[in-house]
């Protein structure tokens, strides 16, 4: 059998893992050995007697910066040289479903969780870290971002996701938001299920869902809508 997809996480808070990844779809897959997780404490690589991992920023300013020597030692000790090395950071390149698909198709990922005001730039360069952001907002550390990235990858691993959960992925790969869903009761607080969904006419249902997905995407995500128009143009050109 081939080795399972693996996430190695470097963090100052290893007790945050597996956290929410220990339950539901990802948790079951973890228990079954479909993927593997190792959370390593960056502090274990500190060398001074206070076990310090951070220091004041050169040039002054607020907060503390994660030391290059300590983090480099933690990366080297993890010895996962075959894995892409990702640094979770709000200034990283935004994570996309296509990058998630690439990562899920590889051997796994080494995820480094920043804390404090940041990480010494020299370790980012010396260990060739790929900075990844999960959105334009600031978390108090990279751990929750790492959990989000791992979750997005794990659900794509073979055997993890049932057919039912795969719909959202398919829709996103077309740069479309998901159409609205309904189930029983037929009327909820005076609101009926759209009649067409009860018609039994599969072609009409499919056309309605597509129109709704397009309307939602146009209204809420003009950026995705533009990307979709672009994709379509490129597939019909040449």
Residue nearest to ligand ADE (CB): 145
Q: Which is nearer to ligand ADE, 88 or 109 (CB)?
A: 88
Between 45 and 133, name the residue whose CB sits nearer to ligand ADE: 133
**Alpha-carbon span 103 to 95, nearest angstrom:** 11
Q: What is the Cα–Cα distance from 168 to 177, expressed in whole angstroms?
A: 8
Residues binding ligand ADE (CB under 6 A): 88-90, 114, 133-135, 137-139, 142, 145
CB of 12 to ligand ADE, least distance (A): 13
Cα–Cα nearest to 228, from 208, 214, 212: 214
Cβ 11 to ligand ADE shortest distance, Å: 12
How much of the chain is in helix, strand and coil states, percent to nearest 5?
A: 45, 20, 35
| Block residue for tokens 């379509």 | 232
CB of 134 to ligand ADE, least distance (A): 4
In angstroms, the CA 144 to CA 135 distance is: 12
Q: Which lies closer to ligand ADE via its Cβ, residue 83 or residue 144?
A: 144
Nearer residue to ligand ADE within complex by CB, 137 or 163: 137
CB of 200 to ligand ADE, least distance (A): 45
Long-range (24+ apart) CB contacts under 8 A made by 15-22 are 16/143, 16/147, 17/143, 17/147, 19/147, 20/147, 20/151, 21/147, 21/150, 21/151, 21/154
Least Å distance, CB 145 to ligand ADE, is 3
Q: What is the DSSP letter of 193?
A: P
Is 133 or 175 the residue whose CB approaches ligand ADE more closely?
133
């Amino acid at each position: 059998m081939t080795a399972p997809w693996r996430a190695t996480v470097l963090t100052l808070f290893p007790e945050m893992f597996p956290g929410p990844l220990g339950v539901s779809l990802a948790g079951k897959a973890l228990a079954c050995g479909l993927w593997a997780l190792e959370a390593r404490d960056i502090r274990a690589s500190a060398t001074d007697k206070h076990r310090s991992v951070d220091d004041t920023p050169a040039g002054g300013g607020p907060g503390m910066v994660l030391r290059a020597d300590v983090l480099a030692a933690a990366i080297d000790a993890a010895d996962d040289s075959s894995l892409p090395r990702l640094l979770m950071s709000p200034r990283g390149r935004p994570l996309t479903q296509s990058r998630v698909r690439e990562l899920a198709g590889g051997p796994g990922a080494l995820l480094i969780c920043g804390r404090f005001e940041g990480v010494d730039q020299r370790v980012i360069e010396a260990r060739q870290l790929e900075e990844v952001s999960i959105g334009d907002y600031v978390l108090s550390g990279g751990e929750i971002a790492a959990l989000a990235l791992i979750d997005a990858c794990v659900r794509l691993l073979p055997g993890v996701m049932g057919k039912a959960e795969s719909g959202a992925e398919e829709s996103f790969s077309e740069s479309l938001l998901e159409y609205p869903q309904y189930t029983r009761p037929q009327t909820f607080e005076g609101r009926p299920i759209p009649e067409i969904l009860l018609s039994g006419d599969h072609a009409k249902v499919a056309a309605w869902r597509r129109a709704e997905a397009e309307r939602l995407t146009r209204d809420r995500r003009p950026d995705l809508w533009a990307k979709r128009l672009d994709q379509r143009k490129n597939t019909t050109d040449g």
